[in-house]
Structure 1
Amino acid sequence: MITRLETGPRMSKIVKHNGTAYLCGQVGAGDSVAEQTRDCLGRVDALLQEAGSSREQMLQVIIWLSSMEDFAEMNAVWDAWVPEGHAPARACGEARLARLGLKVEVIVTAAY
């Protein structure tokens, strides 16, 4: 069975199937990559909770940065957020994000 949460005409914020929760890409508010990353990860926390999951159950995370020059600043926030011993498989790359001013987008897959 597939369960879709917060579904709109274009996407669902969460899709659950067979013990796995797929979250839509999350972006955050703020001027710096650190501010946007903190806000974005707060949104991820809320979606994980809604999905019946948690940071400790993340399987894979894909992070897009508008500039790889922000890699260290984003990682400083990320490293403080990920529970010790529960780091997911992760990829990070550079991409043009959906709108001007966005610096980071995070896509999470987690068990529930």
Structure 2
Amino acid sequence: MKIRRLWLTLANAVFCLSLAGCQETPPVPLEPQTTIQKGLELSQRLSCWGCHQHQGQGADLGPNLDGVGNRLARAELEGQLQTPRGRHPDSRMPSFAFIRPFEHKALVDYLLTLQ
């Protein structure tokens, strides 16, 4: 019984500490090139290339992202990331609505460079 109570206390402490990181101060606006670099890093962290291809690299489960910056406008990319099934009801792409607004902007900025 004491081990269970200790385990619950520890789990609760870890949970509370994880919430402390949610109270971040707003990020300093990034320079355009830095924003694009952050978007590239985020695309790798979110495993975009596990479903999409760009320049012959990645998987082919989703649409090829070569030229996506020419095919889709900013608003379309933003919508696709937030609610993928809004544009394509049968889409298997997960929603990325959970990422922070500045990360969302960085990812869209990066995708718009894929000409």
TM-score over 0.5 (shorter chain): no
Which structure is higher in strand share?
A: 1
Q: Which protein has the larger Cα radius of gyration, Structure 1 or Structure 2?
A: 2
* TM norm structure 1: 0.28
- Select the structure with the greater relative contact order (CA < 8 A; seq sep ≥ 6): 1
Which structure is higher in helix share?
A: 2
